[in-house]
Structure 1
C-alpha cells in the first residue's frame, strides 16, 4: 500500500485522524530523539522531551498553517521544550570537565548520582537501518562524546542555534523566527558557538580514521588484553596522554602511568574476571562491561566502555557505570560463564 503524501497526512491528522498522525510523526521520531539528545546530553531526558513534543504537536495540530513545514514545526516545538528544560537543569559533563585529575592510588570517592553526567547514546538509534551510509556517518560525527562535551560549554541558546544552523542546516531567518531573535543575533551567536568549538579543537581537527580492518584488529586485541588482565599490553595501546573516567564516580585519570596504576589497584584484583561485549555508542566503538566475582556463576553487567581511537591508539576510555542509563542498549544483564 502506498504511503499517503505528507500534506494529506497532515490534513488528516488535523481533522483528528490519530492513525494518520502516528504515520506522520513516525518518520521523525528518531531524528527528533537525536536532536533532543544533542541539546540535553541525556538519552532519558531526550526520550521524555520527544514524547512531550509529539503530545504538543497533537494538541496544537490545528495551529499549523503550512502542512509543507511540518518537520520544521516539530523541530521548533522540540527545541523550545529543550530550552525550557535547560533553563532549570544543570549542564551535563564528564568528570574530566568538572574535577582535577585523580590519584589512582587513592580510594575512589562516592558516586555522584545527581543528573550532572552525560549519558551514552546507542548508535542503533542514530538512523534507520536502511538509511544512506553517508547519512549515518555524518550523524555519528555529530554525536561523539567530544562534540557533546563541547556543546555543554555553550549557552542553551548558542547550542540550539549551532545545531539548527550547522547540523540541521535551517536558514538563519527560520531559526530567528523560532527563537524570537533577530537574524543578526542568530548570526552573532553562531559565530560565538563556532569559536568556542574551535577553542576545544572540535570540528577543526583532521581525524585520522583507521581502515576498518586495522580498527577491528585493535579492538580485538583490546578485548583479549582486558579479559586477560594484561596491564602492560593494555597500556601499550594507549596514547601517552590518554585519559580514563568512570561516571558517576567523580574521578578521571590521565597518562599511561596513572591508568596502569588504576588497573592494577582497582580493576584487576585477584579473583575478578571480565568479559567485554562489543557494541557502539556515540559514533564510537564500545563494549558492555561484564564482571564475574570469585565463585559467582555469571558475569554481571556493570557498565559501558566507550573508546576514542586516533592513529591506531586509544586516546580516551569512558566507562559509564550507571547501569540504569544503559536500558536502550542491547546488553543482557547477565552472561553465563563461557
Structure 2
C-alpha cells in the first residue's frame, strides 16, 4: 500500500502534474528494473521495458481507479510488457545449457549471437542500505546466474507467476487479475514453476556465501594468481568440478585439468599481461578483465568475469566478452599500466 505522500503524488499525477509523476515513479524505477531483468535475462531489454512501462503509466494516468495500488499497477504494466516481449524473443542461457562441453586443446569457436545469452546485472542497482542485511542477501540470491538460468526453463507465464507470488509476495487474486488468469490457473502455474525449480536443484547451484574474511582471502589470491598467470596456483582455487565459460563464445570447460589446459592454450599466452578491477554482479564477486598486449601502454577492457564461490573454492567462472553488455557497469575502457588494484569482498 502506498504512503499518504505517495498517494498525494498519484492524485497530482492524475491531474497531469509531470513533476509529481516523476517523483512518484522514481520510488519504483529500480525495483521495476530488477523485476524486468529477472523476467528477460537482459539488463538492456529490462531498461527499455521499464521506460516503456513509465511511458504507458503516464499516458494512461487517468485510468487508475485505486490510487493506493499504484505500485501494483506499475507491476501489472511491466509484467505484461515483458510477456509480450517474450512471445517473440528466444530464451537466454549460458553455453553449458546450449552446447556440449568443449575440448580444452581444440579450437575455440567464434562468437555467436544466437542463441542469445544472459547478460550480467550490476549489483550497484540493488544497493539499498536502508534495507536489512537478510533482505539484501535474498535480493542478491534472486539475481544470481544460477537463479536466472533456472527461470529460463520456465514458460513466460510460469516465470511471471513465480516472481510475482514468491519473490514479490503479491496475492494470487492480484496476480490473476493482472495476467487475465483465474486464481486456480495462477496456483497451478505456481506449483509447476516450483517443481521445475526444484528439479533444477537450484539450492546446490547457489551455495551460501562464506564469511567475509574467508572470501576476501580467496579473492586476493585469485587476483594475484590470475595477474601472475600462475596456472597451477589458480586452478588449485577451483572446486574439482568447477566450470568456465565465455559467452558469446559457445565454449565451456569443466574440471581443473580442462580449465588449466584451456588457460595455457588460449588465455595466459606469452607477451600478454592482465589486470582485474573488482566490481559485483549478480550477487557475486566479479572483476572487469583487462589485458595488455606487448608494446601497448595501457590495459584494455576485454570482459567481465563473474565468480560463484562455494566455501573457500570457486565453483564457476563466467567471462562475459560482449562489451556492449557491460555498459551498465562503472568500468573504464582502459587502465594505466602503473595502477595497483585490491580485490574487495563487499558487505
Q: Same fold (TM over 0.5)?
A: yes
Q: Which residue in 1 is equivalent to 2:72?
A: 72
Q: Secondary structure at the match of 1:97?
A: helix
In the TM superposition, residue 201 of structure 1 has moved relative to its aligned partner by 1.1
Aligned to 1:164: 164
CA contact (8 A) 2:144 2:206 kept: no
| Partner Cα distance (2:312, 2:197) in 1 | 25
Q: Secondary structure at the match of 1:290?
A: strand
How far the C-alpha of 1:132 sits from its partner, in A, is 3.3
State yes or no: 1:25 paired with 2:15: no
CA distance in 1, matches of 2:176, 2:269: 56
- Matched with 1:102 is 102
Deviation at 1:311, TM superposition (A): 1.8
- Is contact 1:286–1:307 with CA below 8 Å preserved after alignment? yes
Aligned to 1:285: 285
1:223-262, aligned counterparts within 5 Å? 223-262=223-262
> Which residue is equivalent to 2:337?
337
Separation in 2, partners of 1:279, 1:236: 23
Structure 1 pair 205/102, CA: closer, same or farther in 2 (3 Å)? closer
Displacement of 1:78 = 0.1
The 5-angstrom pairing of residues 1-338 of structure 1 reads 5-114=5-114, 116-203=116-203, 207-338=207-338
Structure 2: distance between partners of 1:256 and 1:227:
18
- The Cα shift of 1:113 comes to 2.4
The answer to which of 32-41 and 106-115 deviates more is 106-115
Counterpart CA distance in 2 for 1:241 and 1:335 is 33
User: Partners of 1:64 and 1:115 in 2: how far apart?
Assistant: 39
Question: 1:167 Cα shift?
Answer: 0.2
1:134 Cα offset (Å): 2.8
Structure 1 stretches of at least 4 aligned residues deviating more than 6 Å after TM superposition: none
- How many Å apart are 1:295 and its aligned residue? 0.7
How many aligned residue pairs are there? 336
How many angstroms apart in 2 are the aligned matches of 1:129 and 1:6?
A: 21
- Are the equivalent residues in 2 in contact too, given 1:92–1:115 (CA < 8 A)? yes
- 1:114 to partner: Cα distance: 4.1
For normalisation by structure 1, the TM-score amounts to 0.97
Find the aligned partners of 2:83 and 2:208 in 1 and give their Cα distance.
35
Q: Indicate the SS of the match to 2:319.
A: strand
Residue 207 (structure 1) shift: 3.4
Offset of residue 334 of structure 1: 0.3
Shift, 1:107, TM fit? 1.3
Deviation at 1:68, TM superposition (A): 0.4
- Provide the C-alpha distance between the structure 1 equivalents of 2:86 and 2:329, rounded to a whole number of angstroms: 25
Superposition CA RMSD, Å: 1.4
Q: Per the alignment, in what secondary structure is the counterpart of residue 109 of structure 1?
A: coil
User: Judging changes above 3 Å, is the alpha-carbon distance between structure 1 residues 206 and 149 closer, same or farther for their aligned structure 2 residues?
Assistant: closer
Taking the aligned partners of 2:91 and 2:154, their CA distance within structure 1 comes to 10
Counterpart-to-counterpart distance in 2, 1:294 and 1:313: 32
Unaligned runs of 5+ in 2: 339-347
Match of 2:250, SS? coil
Of residues 52-61 and 113-122 in structure 1, the stretch that sits farther from structure 2 once superposed is 113-122
User: How much has 1:87 moved relative to structure 2?
Assistant: 0.2
Deviations 1:52-77 (A, max 9, x none): 00000000000000000000000000
Mapped contact 2:146–2:205 kept (Cα < 8 A): no
Secondary structure, counterpart of 1:251 in structure 2? strand
| Separation (CA, whole Å) in 2 of partners of 1:101 and 1:158 | 29
C-alpha contact 1:198 1:204 (8 A) present in aligned 2: no
